[in-house]
Structure 1
Amino acid sequence: MEVQQGEYLISTDPARLQFDVIHDFLANKSYWAPGISRETLRKQLDSSTLHYGLYHGENQVGYAQVLTNYTSFAYLGNVFVLEEHRGKGLSKWLMQTVMSHPDLQQIRRWMLATRDAHGLYRQFGFTELDKPELFMQKFDDRWGL
């Protein structure tokens, strides 16, 4: 899947992903995966279901990933747009593209974790858990989210 908007392109082709760009952002600029090793990230990317690369020309400037079974559950993670490309509506466009993917229209429950982007995700129907007593987690706090 590829969609174009002006000078920008979003593609779900994993062959286009620029691993070094993704690793640099997650390891050095994100609050949710500081210091993530290249090996851990490689394993994570190889295990993900859908990748959304955001490109300006040939350069990757953003990313999102979805882990899903295509019917009942999807987890959205590692969403980012590089700082120099922010303020252009790209994160909203990236989210619109993720949420409109034809293979994800049957998803019953979407999940994500965020510390600072609630406003963005609310625009796409995400809310705080309405019945938190139903959910449990096993959480490793090494990443500091």
Structure 2
Amino acid sequence: MDLDLVHDWLSTDAYWSLGRSREAVATAAEHSLNVGAFTEDGRQVAYARVVTDHATFAWLCDVYVDRDHRGRGLGNRLVAAVAQRVDELGVGRTLLKTRDAHDVYAGHGFEPVPDPDLWMIRTPPSA
């Protein structure tokens, strides 16, 4: 993975990670399953990261397609590749959060969380 490029995408153009440090991108990638899409000449044009225990749970995040390569189905192919890899691991549950790509993910089996009242989140207190 071209983590310099991934950092540029995430820290300057992805609404969920604006300002993320290069160190945070590298640490997250090191501890995650990473999937990329590349041109025939080896240039990276998309990225997705999966946080997983490789057995029971996965969280799909940091899905990004280079602006020059959008609108060609690359996001769908990337999510399909991620879903296949997670299925191969035998993971029973994969979550994600999106503001604007519900249709992309729904086409790969994602649906709203059943019983949302059962789910909770912890956010660290502000420093």
The two structures have a TM-score, normalised by structure 1, of: 0.80
Local SS of the residue matching 2:36 = strand
- 2-structure distance, mates of 1:141, 1:63: 30
Which of 20, 39, 44 is 2:23 aligned to? Answer: 39
The two structures have a TM-score, normalised by structure 2, of: 0.90
1:55 pairs with 2:55: no
Once the two structures are superposed, residues 46-100 of structure 1 have per-residue CA deviations (whole angstroms, 9 ceiling, x without a partner) of 111x111111122111000111122210110100110100111111111111111
Q: Which residue of 2 aligns with 1:5?
A: none
**Higher RCO structure, 1 or 2 (CA under 8 Å, sep 6+):** 1
Amino acid at match of 1:126: F
Which of 92, 100, 107 is 1:108 aligned to? Answer: 92
- The residue correspondences of 1:1-145 to structure 2 (distance < 5 A) are 17-48=1-32, 50-56=33-39, 57-101=41-85, 104-139=88-123
- Cα gap change, 1:46 to 1:59, in 2 (>3 Å): same
Question: Displacement, 1:139?
Answer: 2.8
- Cα gap change, 1:37 to 1:102, in 2 (>3 Å): closer
Identity of aligned residues (%): 36
Question: Displacement, 1:103?
Answer: 6.0
Q: Which runs of 5+ in 1 are unaligned?
A: 1-16
* Coordinate RMSD, CA, aligned: 1.8
Q: Which runs of 5+ in 2 are unaligned?
A: none
Task: Report if the CA contact (8 A) 1:81-1:91 is conserved.
Answer: yes
Amino acid at match of 1:118: H
